[in-house]
Structure formats: C-alpha cells, structure tokens
Amino acid sequence: MPGAKNHRLALTALLPLLALASPVHAQSVIGSGVPASTTANSQERPIAFAAQAPENAGLIILTQSAALPETPALSGADRGAVEAAIAAADFQGKAGQHLKLRGIGGRPLIMIVGAAKAEGENADWRAAAGGAIQKLMAEETELAMIGAPDAEAMASAALGLALGQYRFDRYKHDVEKAPASQQVTIAGAAANAAQMLWTNRHQHLAEGVRFARDLQSEPANTIYPESFVDRTRAALAGVPNVRVEVLDEAQMRQLNMGAIVGVGQGSPRGSRMMVVTYRGASGPPLALAGKGITFDTGGISIKPNSGMWGMKADMTGAAAVMGATLSLAKSRAPVHIVAVAALAENMPGANAQRPGDVVRTYGGKTIEIRSTDAEGRLVLADAVQYVADKYDPYALVDIATLTGSVGRALGPQYAGLFAREDAIAGKLLDAAEASGENLWRLPLHPAYAKALKSDIADVKNSNIDAPGASAGAHFIGYFVDSDLPWAHLDIAGVDWLDSARPLTPKGASGFGVRLLDQLARDWRE
C-alpha cells in the first residue's frame, strides 16, 4: 500500500530530528538547578558608639535597680516622669524586666531594661541588650542605648545587639514590612575604648556566630559538602595566617577514610574533609573537629518524616568550629588552631551503605555498621584520626549534634560534655561560664566502652548496650589516642531553639562558636 509506505518513510525521516530534540542531559543536574533565592537577609540595625545619645532617638536605658543611671539624655522633667512610671510599675531592674514608655519628652519611646542578676553574679550586658532589641524589632526609629557602666560592658552590649537582632529571611518575599534597620548608638563616657573592643574582638565573634547560624538555617539544597566549603572559603578570603585544605572523595579513598566516604556514598553530592589552620601563635595547635552532616535522612535506616526537615542543621558542629576559627582569625587572636569539618550528606540512594557493612577508617581500625543513622560518629572517626596524625595537636575537642539522648537528658539548657581528664573538662566548663554557652559533664564509664565491641569488626556504631550519649562519646574516643587530651561536646539539644532567648532568636543558635572562641583564648599549651 503506497500510502502506508510513504507514512513509514516520513516517520523514518523524523527519527534523527526526534533524537536531537530529546533531553539527553536532563539528569546531569543535581537538584533542580534553580536557586531558591538570590537575595540577602534583610538589613539589620548598624551599631555605633558615641559619648552622648542622639537627641531624637528612642532611648534604651540599662539598669541594675529601680534607680536610673545618671545621664544627660534625660532632662529633669523627663527623668521625673520616667521615675514615676518606674514606681507605678514596681519595676525592680531585675534581669529580663522591660518597661516601655511613650509620650515622654521629644523621644519616640523610652525602654527601661533590667540587668540585675542574683546576688554575687555579674550583670549580663549581652543578654540585657539582646533581649531589648528583640522587643524593638518593629520600631521604625533610630535608637540609643545608655547605662552600660564601662567600655567592656558597652562592647558586650554591642555583641548582644548583634546576636539578638539576627534574622534569616532571605527566602521570604511576601512580607509587607521588613524589621527596622535604623542605627542603634551605644552611648557613654567610655565610647572610644568600647569602639576599640568592639572592632578588635566582639564584632568578629558576632560574625562567627552569625556565620554558623546562616549555615544552619540554609536548606540542604543550598548547603551541601561542596557549598559548605565554598561559603567558608569566601568568609576567610584574605584573612592573614589562614590556610585551607580540602580533601575530596578520591583523596579520602586513597587515605582509607572509609567511614566518612561510606556515609556519603548514597548521595550524588560528594563528601569533603575541610581543614582550616589559623596560626596566630607558635607551637602545636588546639584541634577542633565538627560533625558536618549537611542533611541526614538516616540513610537505609531511614528516619520518620516528622521533624526530618530539621536535619538540615545536622552540620552545626562543623559550622561551630569554622565560625570560631573565623572569629579567632579575623580578630588576630594569639592562638594556633586547626579546625576540621567532616562533611557528608546521608541519603538512602542505590549505592548507600547498608546495616551490616564493615568500613575501614583512616587509622586502620574497622567499624561494623549496625545503623546507617548513627553516621555522625562515623565521619568524626576519620576526622579525629586524621587531624591527630597530621597536625600533632596538644588537645582535641570534637563537637556534634550526635544523639537525641543528650537532649532528653539535659533539655535545651545544656550541651553534654564528655572528657577523660578532669583538667580538660575544667577548662571547657570555665569557657562555658565565661561565654554563656552552658555545659553539663556526663559520664564516660569503662563498661560503656566494652559495649562497643563488634563480633565482626573492631567496634560497632549502634545497638550498643549503654546510654546513648555516652555510647556516642565512647565511640569517638575509641579513635583518639589515650595520651591526647580530648573532649566531646554533644550539642543535639541546643543547636535549634523552639522559642527566642535574649541572644538567640527562634531557630538556629550557632551554639559552640562563643564557647570554642573562649576556650582557645584561655587555653594555651
């Protein structure tokens, strides 16, 4: 039939054109290939210092009692009106108390902020300032803060302002009004000295915390091992005395890092080991190692869906060590630090590791995989062995969102501290008190160490007959030589807050940056 033959010939002629039109490379893009946002977070209030408060600014008055500090910012009549309001409200100046007033003098508002702590405790000017600024996020006016008694208090208040007003809103476009962005001026006689303290240290500490919070808050389609590395490189670009080393999967395989490569083998996004060295002093370094699971599905041992979105922040330990290093390096602290981020994405792909697999680590020790959802300790096993071998530190601290157990034990008030030696535990507890990031020491018992033993390998990573947080700590400690001072911080209960605190709005806390910054400054070999 001529018609049928012609039809077949026509289809045959079209085949090359159809082949050219087919999307041959459609699957070569990992993810959608479309960025969720190209904007930055909304502008925050810049912070300045001055001897006198600007005349037309809203006034924040910090006080440790019902008495107002002496200040030229209030006229005699205005001061009397404020004192009457304080008496009527029975305001005592205790920490956490706030009294907002309007219609007094020419100022758009006056807020009295309590800073008094319990007897024998010093006022926390950071928390007082941070709590105040959170309550004034919608006030579209310039602000001035008075009442911090000296340069250190003023600089601490500035740190509180920077941390308290943090926001992560770069993905929000359907909003009628952004938070206020007018300047806040911290006024006092010690303004010049406070400005120097802020510029030389506190500003960089705030930047380190905010860097960690940004990494925590970003979705996993934005932050994954390679982009974590890129963000950190960009943050440290041009900072003196910093060196960055990054191992990709091929290099890690050559070094027999089967634990970290195994965790990431189910994901199309390759794992990375990032090592940042800051040399601000001579001698051996203090090593900091952070868990960097950029998303944790649990792998083959998959987690339930409820709350899994929060696993984008399972890299908080890695973010904390890099944020602390950023702070120390930019402030030119006289310390020597080597910070390791063990980065992987734990996905249940066709090539994912299985329960029952055995992996070899950098140092040659082997691990039986009982659960692919006990993955943080796996990436840290390679990280702690590598940094100890290559950099010869005088001490090693690892930090990780490791176990739900620690959150159930300590709640959102404390991170868990594990240490073999009282001396290193004491240094961390002192740094916790000074930084305001609380730790509670938990036990390392020999019976828990015995429970790690595997029938087929050296140790197993799960199904360990021991309390969960202690079992995780013992597992990591197994890969740290007994003569190296070592501590483990389990921050799974404090990395993400369900409600705001004075220094931490709801969401990512950046826990660990202030603590590790303080530890490095206080602890020298």
Reply yes or no on whether 303 is catalytic. yes
Sequence-distant (≥ 6) Cβ neighbours of residue 80 within 8 angstroms: none
Query: Residue 120's pLDDT band (boundaries 50, 70, 90)?
Result: low
Q: pLDDT tens across 156-169, in order?
A: 999 999 999 999 99
C-beta neighbour count of 524 within 10 angstroms: 12
pLDDT given at position 177: 83
272 catalytic per annotation: no
Known binding residues for Mn(2+) are 291, 296, 314, 373, 375
* Closest CA relative to residue 471, chosen from 492, 433, 442, 500: 442
pLDDT, tens only, 82-107: 999 999 999 999 999 999 999 999 99
Number of neighbours of residue 135 by Cβ within 10 angstroms: 15
Indicate whether 23 pLDDT > 90.
no
* Residues in CB range of 248: below 8 A, 6 or more apart: 270, 272
The active-site residue out of 107, 210, 377, 427 is 377
Looking at residue 143, its pLDDT comes to 98
Domain topology for 47-167+180-192: Leucine Aminopeptidase, subunit E; domain 1 (3.40.220)
Mean pLDDT of the chain: 94
pLDDT tens column, 346-381: 999 999 999 999 999 999 999 999 999 999 999 999
Work out the pLDDT band at 28, boundaries 50, 70, 90.
confident
Q: Are 198 and 163 in contact (CB under 8 A)?
A: no
At the topology level, CATH places domain 211-522 in Aminopeptidase (3.40.630)
Binding site, residues?
291, 296, 314, 373, 375
Kindly list the domain boundaries of the chain, sorted by start residue: 47-167+180-192, 211-522
In the sheet that 272-279 helps form, which strands lie side by side, from edge to edge?
Answer: 242-247, 272-279, 336-346, 286-296, 395-400, 486-490, 415-419, 439-441
Q: pLDDT tens digit string along 33-91?
A: 999 999 999 999 999 999 999 999 999 999 999 999 989 999 999 999 999 999 999 99
Lowest mean pLDDT among 45-59, 164-178, 262-276, 315-329: 164-178
pLDDT at 524: 78
Q: The tokens of 6 are what?
A: 């012609």
Q: What is the pLDDT of residues 391-447, one digit of tens each?
A: 999 999 999 999 999 999 999 999 999 999 999 999 999 999 999 999 999 999 998
In the DSSP assignment, the letter for residue 304 is: P
**197 touches 331 (CB < 8 A):** no
Long-range interactions of 245-249: CB distance < 8 A, separation 24+: 245/274, 245/275, 245/276, 245/277, 246/272, 246/273, 246/274, 246/275, 247/272, 247/273, 247/274, 247/275, 248/272
Of 303, 420, 441, 521, the active-site residue reads 303
What's the pLDDT band for 117 if we cut at 50, 70, 90? Answer: confident
